[in-house]
A and B are shown apart, each in its own frame.
Chain A
Amino acid sequence: MVRVTIDIFSGRPNPSFVLDEREAQEILRQLSAAPEAVVSAERSLGILGYRGLVLELDSEAAARHDHLPRELRIGGGVAGAESRGLEIAQRLVERMGTPTPAVEGFSGPLASYEGLDLRRLVREGMDALSSLAATFNAAPTGNAAPTGDVATATDDVSVSTLSTGDATVMAGATVLGTDASSWTTYTVGTCQYEGSAFNPNFWNAQRTVMRNNNCYNYASNRRTDTFAQPGRATGAQATIMACTNVGNGATSDGALAVPTCADATQSPRHYMALVIWPGTDYHWYRKHSDGFWGHKPGQTAARNYDNSNNIIYDPQTANRGGYTDFCGYYFGPASMQIR
Protein backbone atom coordinates (compact mmCIF):
# COMPACT_ATOMS: atom_id res chain seq x y z
CA MET A 1 0.00 0.00 0.00
CA VAL A 2 1.21 3.49 -0.83
CA ARG A 3 -0.39 6.63 0.58
CA VAL A 4 0.19 9.91 -1.25
CA THR A 5 -0.12 13.20 0.61
CA ILE A 6 -0.18 16.52 -1.20
CA ASP A 7 2.03 18.70 1.00
CA ILE A 8 0.38 22.05 0.39
CA PHE A 9 -1.45 23.41 3.43
CA SER A 10 -0.20 25.00 6.60
CA GLY A 11 -3.21 25.21 8.91
CA ARG A 12 -5.58 22.56 7.65
CA PRO A 13 -4.64 18.89 7.12
CA ASN A 14 -3.08 18.05 3.80
CA PRO A 15 -5.18 16.00 1.39
CA SER A 16 -4.10 12.40 0.84
CA PHE A 17 -5.13 9.39 -1.19
CA VAL A 18 -4.16 5.73 -1.41
CA LEU A 19 -2.91 4.15 -4.63
CA ASP A 20 -4.32 0.83 -5.67
CA GLU A 21 -1.86 -2.06 -5.92
CA ARG A 22 -1.32 -1.74 -9.66
CA GLU A 23 -0.76 2.04 -9.51
CA ALA A 24 1.53 1.67 -6.52
CA GLN A 25 3.73 -0.88 -8.26
CA GLU A 26 3.90 1.25 -11.39
CA ILE A 27 4.87 4.41 -9.51
CA LEU A 28 7.46 2.62 -7.38
CA ARG A 29 8.94 1.07 -10.50
CA GLN A 30 9.24 4.53 -12.08
CA LEU A 31 10.80 6.00 -8.95
CA SER A 32 13.22 3.10 -8.65
CA ALA A 33 14.39 3.91 -12.16
CA ALA A 34 14.84 7.58 -11.23
CA PRO A 35 16.37 7.61 -7.73
CA GLU A 36 17.67 11.15 -8.22
CA ALA A 37 14.05 12.35 -8.38
CA VAL A 38 13.46 11.11 -4.83
CA VAL A 39 14.42 12.62 -1.49
CA SER A 40 13.43 11.61 2.02
CA ALA A 41 10.10 13.07 3.10
CA GLU A 42 11.53 15.45 5.66
CA ARG A 43 13.43 17.36 3.00
CA SER A 44 11.28 20.28 2.01
CA LEU A 45 11.84 23.82 0.82
CA GLY A 46 9.79 24.79 3.85
CA ILE A 47 7.78 27.36 1.96
CA LEU A 48 4.15 28.23 2.36
CA GLY A 49 2.08 26.57 -0.35
CA TYR A 50 2.74 23.48 -2.46
CA ARG A 51 5.86 21.60 -1.27
CA GLY A 52 5.65 18.33 -3.20
CA LEU A 53 4.03 14.91 -2.82
CA VAL A 54 4.93 12.68 0.11
CA LEU A 55 4.63 8.94 -0.50
CA GLU A 56 4.42 6.57 2.46
CA LEU A 57 5.22 2.95 1.71
CA ASP A 58 3.79 0.21 3.91
CA SER A 59 6.15 -2.55 5.10
CA GLU A 60 5.39 -4.79 2.12
CA ALA A 61 6.06 -2.07 -0.47
CA ALA A 62 9.13 -0.94 1.48
CA ALA A 63 10.50 -4.50 1.55
CA ARG A 64 10.12 -4.79 -2.23
CA HIS A 65 11.78 -1.41 -2.80
CA ASP A 66 14.32 -1.25 0.01
CA HIS A 67 16.47 1.26 -1.85
CA LEU A 68 13.70 3.88 -1.62
CA PRO A 69 13.04 5.84 1.57
CA ARG A 70 10.03 4.51 3.45
CA GLU A 71 8.65 8.04 3.41
CA LEU A 72 9.76 9.92 0.34
CA ARG A 73 9.12 13.22 -1.38
CA ILE A 74 8.89 13.91 -5.09
CA GLY A 75 8.25 17.10 -7.03
CA GLY A 76 9.22 19.25 -4.06
CA GLY A 77 11.93 21.33 -5.71
CA VAL A 78 14.82 19.80 -3.78
CA ALA A 79 15.76 16.62 -5.66
CA GLY A 80 18.60 16.25 -8.14
CA ALA A 81 16.40 15.19 -11.07
CA GLU A 82 13.51 17.49 -10.26
CA SER A 83 11.84 17.56 -13.66
CA ARG A 84 11.29 13.79 -13.60
CA GLY A 85 9.86 14.00 -10.07
CA LEU A 86 7.51 16.79 -11.08
CA GLU A 87 6.37 14.80 -14.08
CA ILE A 88 5.51 11.75 -11.94
CA ALA A 89 3.91 13.95 -9.26
CA GLN A 90 1.77 15.73 -11.82
CA ARG A 91 0.51 12.43 -13.23
CA LEU A 92 -0.36 11.16 -9.76
CA VAL A 93 -2.38 14.25 -8.91
CA GLU A 94 -4.20 14.28 -12.26
CA ARG A 95 -5.32 10.67 -11.65
CA MET A 96 -6.23 10.93 -7.96
CA GLY A 97 -9.70 10.10 -6.69
CA THR A 98 -11.40 11.86 -3.77
CA PRO A 99 -8.76 12.85 -1.24
CA THR A 100 -9.15 12.56 2.52
CA PRO A 101 -7.30 14.44 5.30
CA ALA A 102 -3.84 13.09 5.96
CA VAL A 103 -4.48 13.50 9.69
CA GLU A 104 -6.28 10.40 10.95
CA GLY A 105 -9.68 11.03 12.53
CA PHE A 106 -9.77 14.69 11.48
CA SER A 107 -13.31 15.92 10.88
CA GLY A 108 -15.21 19.17 10.47
CA PRO A 109 -15.50 21.56 7.55
CA LEU A 110 -11.79 21.47 6.80
CA ALA A 111 -11.90 17.70 6.36
CA SER A 112 -13.60 18.07 2.98
CA TYR A 113 -11.83 19.39 -0.06
CA GLU A 114 -15.03 19.82 -2.06
CA GLY A 115 -15.09 23.13 -3.86
CA LEU A 116 -11.32 23.30 -3.94
CA ASP A 117 -9.72 22.72 -7.31
CA LEU A 118 -6.79 20.79 -5.88
CA ARG A 119 -5.41 19.85 -9.28
CA ARG A 120 -5.25 23.50 -10.29
CA LEU A 121 -3.71 24.51 -6.95
CA VAL A 122 -1.04 21.84 -7.36
CA ARG A 123 -0.35 22.82 -10.98
CA GLU A 124 0.08 26.47 -9.96
CA GLY A 125 2.16 25.42 -6.97
CA MET A 126 4.42 23.32 -9.16
CA ASP A 127 5.01 26.27 -11.48
CA ALA A 128 5.79 28.59 -8.56
CA LEU A 129 8.03 26.01 -6.93
CA SER A 130 9.95 25.39 -10.13
CA SER A 131 10.82 29.09 -10.32
CA LEU A 132 11.72 29.20 -6.63
CA ALA A 133 13.91 26.10 -6.88
CA ALA A 134 15.61 27.63 -9.89
CA THR A 135 16.41 30.70 -7.79
CA PHE A 136 17.84 28.65 -4.93
CA ASN A 137 19.83 26.38 -7.18
CA ALA A 138 20.83 29.19 -9.52
CA ALA A 139 22.96 27.96 -12.37
CA PRO A 140 26.08 26.73 -10.69
CA THR A 141 29.01 27.28 -12.97
CA GLY A 142 32.70 26.90 -12.32
CA ASN A 143 33.07 26.94 -8.57
CA ALA A 144 29.46 26.53 -7.64
CA ALA A 145 27.42 23.95 -5.77
CA PRO A 146 27.58 20.25 -6.66
CA THR A 147 24.77 18.70 -8.59
CA GLY A 148 22.80 15.72 -7.41
CA ASP A 149 21.61 14.96 -3.94
CA VAL A 150 22.87 16.93 -1.01
CA ALA A 151 22.72 16.19 2.65
CA THR A 152 20.46 18.93 3.95
CA ALA A 153 18.77 19.33 7.25
CA THR A 154 15.06 19.39 7.73
CA ASP A 155 13.68 22.77 6.85
CA ASP A 156 11.58 24.62 9.37
CA VAL A 157 8.09 24.48 7.95
CA SER A 158 6.77 27.16 10.28
CA VAL A 159 8.75 29.81 8.45
CA SER A 160 6.88 32.93 7.43
CA THR A 161 7.37 34.86 4.23
CA LEU A 162 7.87 38.52 3.57
CA SER A 163 7.59 40.49 0.40
CA THR A 164 10.20 42.77 -1.07
CA GLY A 165 8.78 44.56 -4.06
CA ASP A 166 7.60 41.94 -6.51
CA ALA A 167 9.77 39.16 -5.18
CA THR A 168 8.63 36.93 -2.35
CA VAL A 169 11.58 35.91 -0.24
CA MET A 170 11.88 33.72 2.82
CA ALA A 171 12.20 35.11 6.30
CA GLY A 172 14.42 33.84 9.06
CA ALA A 173 13.72 30.44 10.52
CA THR A 174 12.45 30.09 14.06
CA VAL A 175 15.36 30.30 16.50
CA LEU A 176 15.09 27.23 18.70
CA GLY A 177 17.72 28.32 21.18
CA THR A 178 21.14 29.84 21.81
CA ASP A 179 24.09 28.49 23.75
CA ALA A 180 24.33 31.35 26.25
CA SER A 181 22.19 33.35 28.63
CA SER A 182 24.77 35.91 29.72
CA TRP A 183 27.32 37.93 27.80
CA THR A 184 30.26 40.19 28.45
CA THR A 185 30.84 43.29 26.34
CA TYR A 186 34.23 43.74 24.68
CA THR A 187 35.77 46.35 22.42
CA VAL A 188 37.51 45.69 19.15
CA GLY A 189 38.71 48.71 17.17
CA THR A 190 35.96 51.30 17.59
CA CYS A 191 33.20 48.71 17.95
CA GLN A 192 31.76 46.70 20.80
CA TYR A 193 30.58 43.13 20.81
CA GLU A 194 29.35 40.54 23.29
CA GLY A 195 31.11 37.28 24.05
CA SER A 196 29.72 34.33 25.99
CA ALA A 197 31.31 31.29 27.61
CA PHE A 198 32.10 28.32 25.37
CA ASN A 199 29.19 25.87 25.68
CA PRO A 200 29.66 23.06 23.13
CA ASN A 201 27.24 20.80 24.97
CA PHE A 202 24.34 22.90 23.67
CA TRP A 203 25.24 21.84 20.10
CA ASN A 204 26.68 18.38 20.70
CA ALA A 205 24.47 16.67 23.28
CA GLN A 206 21.63 15.80 20.93
CA ARG A 207 22.31 14.09 17.63
CA THR A 208 19.53 15.95 15.85
CA VAL A 209 20.90 19.35 16.95
CA MET A 210 24.43 18.41 15.92
CA ARG A 211 23.34 17.15 12.51
CA ASN A 212 20.99 20.01 11.61
CA ASN A 213 23.09 23.02 12.56
CA ASN A 214 26.31 24.15 10.91
CA CYS A 215 29.07 26.72 11.32
CA TYR A 216 26.75 29.60 10.36
CA ASN A 217 24.26 28.57 13.04
CA TYR A 218 27.10 28.33 15.53
CA ALA A 219 28.75 31.64 14.66
CA SER A 220 25.48 33.55 14.76
CA ASN A 221 24.50 31.58 17.88
CA ARG A 222 21.13 30.58 16.54
CA ARG A 223 19.94 27.00 16.58
CA THR A 224 17.40 26.70 13.77
CA ASP A 225 17.81 23.02 12.75
CA THR A 226 17.83 24.18 9.12
CA PHE A 227 21.59 23.93 8.38
CA ALA A 228 21.46 27.68 7.77
CA GLN A 229 22.96 29.25 4.68
CA PRO A 230 24.20 32.85 4.44
CA GLY A 231 21.60 34.91 2.58
CA ARG A 232 18.94 32.22 2.40
CA ALA A 233 16.64 34.03 4.85
CA THR A 234 16.71 37.13 2.70
CA GLY A 235 16.73 35.68 -0.81
CA ALA A 236 20.44 36.37 -1.31
CA GLN A 237 22.04 32.95 -0.87
CA ALA A 238 25.52 32.74 -2.31
CA THR A 239 26.14 30.09 -4.93
CA ILE A 240 29.76 31.01 -5.58
CA MET A 241 32.08 30.13 -2.77
CA ALA A 242 34.18 33.28 -2.51
CA CYS A 243 34.63 35.83 0.30
CA THR A 244 32.56 38.56 -1.35
CA ASN A 245 29.64 36.32 -2.26
CA VAL A 246 29.29 34.53 1.06
CA GLY A 247 29.98 37.76 2.98
CA ASN A 248 27.24 39.51 0.99
CA GLY A 249 24.83 36.70 1.87
CA ALA A 250 25.59 37.20 5.55
CA THR A 251 25.24 40.99 5.39
CA SER A 252 21.95 40.53 3.59
CA ASP A 253 20.86 38.50 6.65
CA GLY A 254 21.83 41.45 8.85
CA ALA A 255 25.48 40.77 9.70
CA LEU A 256 27.77 43.81 9.67
CA ALA A 257 31.23 43.66 8.13
CA VAL A 258 33.91 45.15 10.37
CA PRO A 259 34.58 48.12 10.71
CA THR A 260 30.83 48.82 10.62
CA CYS A 261 29.68 48.69 14.25
CA ALA A 262 26.39 47.49 15.66
CA ASP A 263 24.92 49.73 18.35
CA ALA A 264 24.13 48.57 21.88
CA THR A 265 20.44 48.05 21.11
CA GLN A 266 21.59 45.15 18.93
CA SER A 267 23.13 43.19 21.83
CA PRO A 268 24.21 40.45 21.92
CA ARG A 269 26.43 41.32 18.98
CA HIS A 270 28.41 38.18 18.16
CA TYR A 271 31.93 38.55 16.78
CA MET A 272 32.36 36.23 13.83
CA ALA A 273 35.09 35.39 11.32
CA LEU A 274 34.52 34.10 7.79
CA VAL A 275 36.93 31.87 5.85
CA ILE A 276 36.61 30.25 2.44
CA TRP A 277 37.72 27.00 0.86
CA PRO A 278 38.06 28.64 -2.58
CA GLY A 279 35.31 27.60 -4.94
CA THR A 280 34.16 24.87 -2.58
CA ASP A 281 32.76 25.86 0.80
CA TYR A 282 32.78 28.48 3.56
CA HIS A 283 33.30 28.34 7.32
CA TRP A 284 32.56 30.62 10.29
CA TYR A 285 34.04 31.03 13.77
CA ARG A 286 32.72 32.90 16.85
CA LYS A 287 34.76 34.59 19.56
CA HIS A 288 34.02 33.52 23.14
CA SER A 289 34.46 35.31 26.45
CA ASP A 290 37.06 32.65 27.34
CA GLY A 291 39.40 34.41 24.89
CA PHE A 292 39.39 31.71 22.23
CA TRP A 293 37.22 31.06 19.19
CA GLY A 294 34.66 28.29 18.81
CA HIS A 295 33.39 26.68 15.63
CA LYS A 296 31.34 23.80 14.32
CA PRO A 297 32.55 22.04 11.15
CA GLY A 298 29.38 21.03 9.32
CA GLN A 299 27.43 18.27 11.02
CA THR A 300 30.24 17.48 13.45
CA ALA A 301 30.68 18.62 17.05
CA ALA A 302 31.26 22.20 18.12
CA ARG A 303 34.80 22.67 19.41
CA ASN A 304 37.45 25.29 20.14
CA TYR A 305 40.46 23.67 18.49
CA ASP A 306 41.76 23.63 14.94
CA ASN A 307 42.92 20.90 12.55
CA SER A 308 46.19 20.66 14.50
CA ASN A 309 44.30 20.23 17.79
CA ASN A 310 45.43 23.66 18.96
CA ILE A 311 43.06 26.00 20.80
CA ILE A 312 42.05 28.75 18.38
CA TYR A 313 43.17 32.13 19.65
CA ASP A 314 43.44 33.60 16.17
CA PRO A 315 41.38 32.20 13.28
CA GLN A 316 43.76 33.85 10.81
CA THR A 317 46.65 31.65 11.90
CA ALA A 318 44.69 28.54 12.91
CA ASN A 319 45.09 25.35 10.87
CA ARG A 320 42.00 25.56 8.68
CA GLY A 321 42.70 22.75 6.22
CA GLY A 322 41.49 23.75 2.75
CA TYR A 323 39.75 26.90 4.00
CA THR A 324 42.73 29.01 3.01
CA ASP A 325 41.09 32.37 2.29
CA PHE A 326 40.61 34.50 5.37
CA CYS A 327 37.82 36.94 4.50
CA GLY A 328 37.48 39.07 7.62
CA TYR A 329 35.37 39.75 10.67
CA TYR A 330 31.66 40.40 11.06
CA PHE A 331 29.27 41.33 13.83
CA GLY A 332 26.11 39.28 14.19
CA PRO A 333 23.57 41.66 15.78
CA ALA A 334 20.33 40.66 17.53
CA SER A 335 18.26 41.61 14.47
CA MET A 336 20.15 39.19 12.22
CA GLN A 337 17.93 36.53 10.65
CA ILE A 338 19.15 33.23 9.33
CA ARG A 339 17.59 30.26 7.66
Chain B
Amino acid sequence: MRVEADLFSGRPNPAWTLDEAESATFARLFAGLVRTAAPPWLEDGLGYRGLRVTGTDGGIGECEEVRVLRGHVAARCTDGERSYLDTERALERWLVGSARGRVDAQVLQMLRAEVEV
Protein backbone atom coordinates (compact mmCIF):
# COMPACT_ATOMS: atom_id res chain seq x y z
CA MET B 1 0.00 0.00 0.00
CA ARG B 2 1.04 3.54 -0.64
CA VAL B 3 0.62 6.47 1.73
CA GLU B 4 0.66 10.06 0.55
CA ALA B 5 0.78 13.02 2.94
CA ASP B 6 -1.45 15.64 1.35
CA LEU B 7 0.67 18.59 2.35
CA PHE B 8 2.08 20.62 -0.50
CA SER B 9 0.62 22.82 -3.20
CA GLY B 10 3.39 23.28 -5.71
CA ARG B 11 5.77 20.43 -5.00
CA PRO B 12 4.69 16.81 -5.28
CA ASN B 13 3.41 15.48 -1.95
CA PRO B 14 5.72 13.20 0.04
CA ALA B 15 4.70 9.56 -0.26
CA TRP B 16 5.95 6.20 0.91
CA THR B 17 5.15 2.52 0.53
CA LEU B 18 4.05 0.24 3.36
CA ASP B 19 5.65 -3.17 3.42
CA GLU B 20 3.59 -6.34 3.53
CA ALA B 21 3.38 -6.52 7.33
CA GLU B 22 2.53 -2.82 7.61
CA SER B 23 -0.13 -3.14 4.94
CA ALA B 24 -1.70 -5.97 6.90
CA THR B 25 -1.62 -3.84 10.05
CA PHE B 26 -3.25 -0.95 8.23
CA ALA B 27 -5.96 -3.24 6.86
CA ARG B 28 -6.60 -4.55 10.39
CA LEU B 29 -6.78 -1.06 11.90
CA PHE B 30 -9.06 0.13 9.10
CA ALA B 31 -11.36 -2.87 9.52
CA GLY B 32 -11.66 -2.02 13.22
CA LEU B 33 -12.92 1.55 12.68
CA VAL B 34 -16.44 2.52 13.67
CA ARG B 35 -18.56 3.47 10.69
CA THR B 36 -20.59 6.66 10.94
CA ALA B 37 -23.43 8.15 8.93
CA ALA B 38 -21.79 11.59 8.98
CA PRO B 39 -20.78 12.88 5.55
CA PRO B 40 -17.05 12.80 4.75
CA TRP B 41 -15.21 15.95 5.77
CA LEU B 42 -14.12 18.37 3.06
CA GLU B 43 -11.16 20.17 4.60
CA ASP B 44 -8.65 20.92 1.89
CA GLY B 45 -7.03 24.36 2.13
CA LEU B 46 -3.33 25.19 2.04
CA GLY B 47 -1.19 23.03 4.33
CA TYR B 48 -1.80 19.61 5.90
CA ARG B 49 -4.88 17.96 4.40
CA GLY B 50 -4.49 14.48 5.81
CA LEU B 51 -3.09 11.16 4.64
CA ARG B 52 -4.27 9.28 1.59
CA VAL B 53 -3.80 5.52 1.41
CA THR B 54 -4.19 3.60 -1.82
CA GLY B 55 -3.64 -0.03 -2.69
CA THR B 56 -0.76 -0.55 -5.07
CA ASP B 57 -2.86 -3.19 -6.77
CA GLY B 58 -6.50 -4.05 -6.32
CA GLY B 59 -7.25 -1.53 -3.57
CA ILE B 60 -7.85 -2.01 0.13
CA GLY B 61 -10.55 -4.64 0.42
CA GLU B 62 -13.60 -3.09 -1.20
CA CYS B 63 -12.12 0.40 -1.14
CA GLU B 64 -9.70 2.01 -3.55
CA GLU B 65 -8.73 5.02 -1.46
CA VAL B 66 -8.82 5.85 2.24
CA ARG B 67 -8.29 9.39 3.54
CA VAL B 68 -7.53 10.07 7.18
CA LEU B 69 -7.64 13.47 8.88
CA ARG B 70 -8.17 14.63 12.45
CA GLY B 71 -10.33 11.78 13.69
CA HIS B 72 -12.26 11.34 10.47
CA VAL B 73 -11.80 8.73 7.79
CA ALA B 74 -13.35 8.86 4.33
CA ALA B 75 -13.10 5.88 2.04
CA ARG B 76 -13.99 5.60 -1.61
CA CYS B 77 -15.37 2.09 -1.98
CA THR B 78 -17.33 -0.06 -4.40
CA ASP B 79 -20.58 0.97 -2.68
CA GLY B 80 -19.69 4.68 -2.66
CA GLU B 81 -18.22 7.04 -0.05
CA ARG B 82 -18.01 5.70 3.49
CA SER B 83 -17.24 7.62 6.68
CA TYR B 84 -15.58 6.27 9.81
CA LEU B 85 -14.41 7.64 13.14
CA ASP B 86 -10.71 7.41 13.91
CA THR B 87 -10.94 7.44 17.71
CA GLU B 88 -8.06 9.36 19.29
CA ARG B 89 -6.59 9.57 15.81
CA ALA B 90 -4.99 6.17 16.30
CA LEU B 91 -4.95 5.31 12.59
CA GLU B 92 -3.58 8.72 11.61
CA ARG B 93 -0.84 8.51 14.23
CA TRP B 94 0.08 5.01 13.13
CA LEU B 95 0.34 6.19 9.50
CA VAL B 96 2.52 9.14 10.51
CA GLY B 97 4.71 6.70 12.44
CA SER B 98 5.15 4.63 9.27
CA ALA B 99 6.73 7.66 7.56
CA ARG B 100 9.78 7.47 9.80
CA GLY B 101 12.92 6.94 7.71
CA ARG B 102 10.90 7.29 4.50
CA VAL B 103 10.43 11.04 4.29
CA ASP B 104 12.90 13.74 5.20
CA ALA B 105 13.24 14.87 8.79
CA GLN B 106 11.52 18.19 8.21
CA VAL B 107 8.41 16.58 6.71
CA LEU B 108 8.30 13.97 9.47
CA GLN B 109 8.50 16.71 12.09
CA MET B 110 5.59 18.56 10.42
CA LEU B 111 3.47 15.41 10.27
CA ARG B 112 4.20 14.59 13.89
CA ALA B 113 3.25 18.12 14.91
CA GLU B 114 -0.06 17.72 13.06
CA VAL B 115 -1.09 14.59 14.95
CA GLU B 116 -0.09 15.85 18.36
CA VAL B 117 -3.23 16.73 20.28
Which secondary structure dominates chain A's binding surface? loop
Residue B56 contacts which of A69, A277, A279, A301 (CB distance < 8 angstroms)? A69
List A residues 270-306 near B (Cβ within 8 Å).
Answer: 277, 279-284, 295-301, 306
Residue contact B18 to A67, C-beta cutoff 8 Å: yes
Give the Cβ gap from B97 to chain A, nearest Cβ, in Å: 15
Residue contact A146 to B107, C-beta cutoff 8 Å: yes
How far does the alpha carbon of A66 sit from the alpha carbon of B18 in the complex, in Å?
A: 11
Chain B residue at smallest Cβ distance from A230 = B10
Q: Mark A206-220, 1 if CB is under 8 A from B, else 0.
A: 000000001110000
**A135 interface hit (Cβ, 8 Å):** no
Which secondary structure dominates chain B's binding surface? loop
Residue B13 contacts which of A36, A150, A284 (CB distance < 8 angstroms)? A150
Total contacting residues, chain A, CB less than 8 A: 51
Residue contact A297 to B17, C-beta cutoff 8 Å: no
How far does the alpha carbon of A215 sit from the alpha carbon of B23 in the complex, in Å?
A: 32
How far does the alpha carbon of A297 sit from the alpha carbon of B110 in the complex, in Å?
A: 18
**A35 interface hit (Cβ, 8 Å):** yes
Q: Which of A156-164, A254-262, A316-324 contacts B (4 or more CB under 8 A)?
A: A316-324
Residue A66 contacts which of B15, B16, B44, B56 (CB distance < 8 angstroms)? B56
Residue contact A320 to B46, C-beta cutoff 8 Å: yes
Residue contact B57 to A323, C-beta cutoff 8 Å: no
List A residues 298-339 near B (Cβ within 8 Å).
Answer: 298-301, 306-307, 319-323
How far does the alpha carbon of A143 sit from the alpha carbon of B45 in the complex, in Å?
A: 22
Residue contact B57 to A281, C-beta cutoff 8 Å: no
**B106 interface hit (Cβ, 8 Å):** yes
**B79 interface hit (Cβ, 8 Å):** no
Q: Which residues of A contact B4 (CB under 8 A)?
A: 151
Q: Which residues of A contact B14 (CB under 8 A)?
A: 146, 148-151
**B8 interface hit (Cβ, 8 Å):** yes
Residue contact A214 to B57, C-beta cutoff 8 Å: no
Given contacts A147-B104, A281-B11, contact A323 B46 (CB under 8 A): yes
Q: Which residues of A contact B110 (CB under 8 A)?
A: 280
Q: Mark B1-28, 1 if CB is under 8 A from A, else 0.
A: 1101011111111111111100100000
